[in-house]
Amino acid sequence: MKTQDFDFRLPQELIAQFPPEARRASRLLALDGRNGVLHDRLFSDLPDWVQPHDVVIFNDTRVIKARVFGAKDTGGQVEMLLERVLDEKHALAQIRASHAPKPDSRIVITPDAAFTVLERVGEMYKVRLEAETPLLAWLEKHGSLPLPPYITRQPNPVDEARYQTIYASKPGAVAAPTAGLHFDEAMLSELRARGVSIAYVTLHVGAGTFQPVRVDDVREHRMHSEWYHVPQETVDAIAQANAQGGRVLAVGTTSLRALESAAGSSALQAGYGETNLFILPGYQFQVVQRLLTNFHLPKSTLFMLVCAFGGMVNMKLAYRHAVEARYRFFSYGDAMLIEREHA
């Protein structure tokens, strides 16, 4: 498979720059991967597409204010994205500067806070916060929200709320699990009223989710590793749904990747782990039958994943329809509900 096989035409004006007025005020394109049939609906219609004993899995990660601006001791300007918090003082960070920082160099953020660069770790740097406050609390006060690169504006106070899911509770992500942004409390109540179970996983989304595929042969691409947790109660909820004839609906590609990573080639297991799972057409899904997701970038790993899930021909036709019907793309865009091609 070639990266070019996953290209499609996407007009720039379809990339949503702002969230809709209300969380549920988006459109929903439903695809039955078994026959390719499409349905144009509204996201508020989602409860019509579930049935009793289904289980819906959400990613409860919380986006941290991971973008920080500072200066080297020499005066050069620096932009940092703290990709992963390691403990109360240390993190792995992407650093953008005119010259690569050297070990033991300092990046001054405020008069009483700086980061010391400890070492290079692949494409990132291990850094230590030199301040009294623990790192996550310090970022909440001094960092800024890391909106995705395709949102071409600065974050504003609206983003502080709308670029988080309403159930976000585990801080650690640098990008939102955006399929979950459509849900409000009323929608969760409606799903429960339909006899649906709700359960959670955690996957701290990294900036690698935006990393372009730079190789011609997609099998040569390597995903960045991300931390995940699948609790025992989620494993139990899925087992109960399966026993009662219900279906597993993953909200977002991150929820799906956490579940499929925890299953591997055997039964779903509770626990913590690191995943660099790269899902391409031909992948044999173990856990998830249905996927709710936003519309993704051409030639991206996320578009490759949905092609694996809903069928490559189906997805190309669905995305062509989405462009023609003026669906809104990416983080603040519309949603797509996909029934797996091979159940």
Instruction: Judge if 283 and 193 occupy the same domain.
Output: yes
At 74 the pLDDT is 83
Give me the number of domains the chain comprises.
2
| Amino acid 236: pLDDT | 98
Considering the domain architecture, whether residues 302 and 219 belong to the same structural domain is answered as yes
CATH of the domain at 230: 3.40.1780.10
Q: What's the pLDDT score for residue 120?
A: 95
Same domain, 308 and 275: yes
Asked if residue 259 and residue 212 are part of one domain, the reply reads: yes
Q: Give the CATH number for residue 111.
A: 2.40.10.240
291 and 207 within one domain? yes
Q: Are residues 114 and 218 in the same domain?
A: no
Same domain for 229 and 102: no
| Residue 256 backbone phi and psi in degrees, to 5 | -60, -45
Q: What is the pLDDT of residue 123?
A: 87
Rounded distance between C-alpha atoms, residue 191 and residue 53, angstroms:
11
Q: What is the pLDDT of residues 207-264, one digit of tens each?
A: 877 778 889 999 899 888 999 999 999 999 999 999 999 999 999 999 999 999 999 8
Task: Kindly state whether residues 125 and 11 are assigned to the same domain.
Answer: no
Q: Within a domain: residue 240?
A: yes
Q: Please give the Cα distance from 219 to 146 (Å, whole number).
A: 29
Residue 284's region, left for phi above 0, alpha for psi from -120 to 50, else beta, is: beta
Q: Are 167 and 295 contained in the same domain?
A: yes
Question: Which residues does the chain have with pLDDT short of 70?
Answer: none
**Which residues form the domain of 85?**
67-142
Residue 127: beta bridge partners?
91, 117
pTM reported for the whole predicted model: 0.95
Give yes or no: residues 59 and 85 share one domain: no
Residues 6+ apart with CB under 8 A from 106: 72, 73, 114, 115, 116, 117, 130
Name 90's bridge partners: 128
Same domain, yes or no: 101 and 238 = no
- Based on the fold, state whether residues 308 and 262 are members of the same structural domain: yes
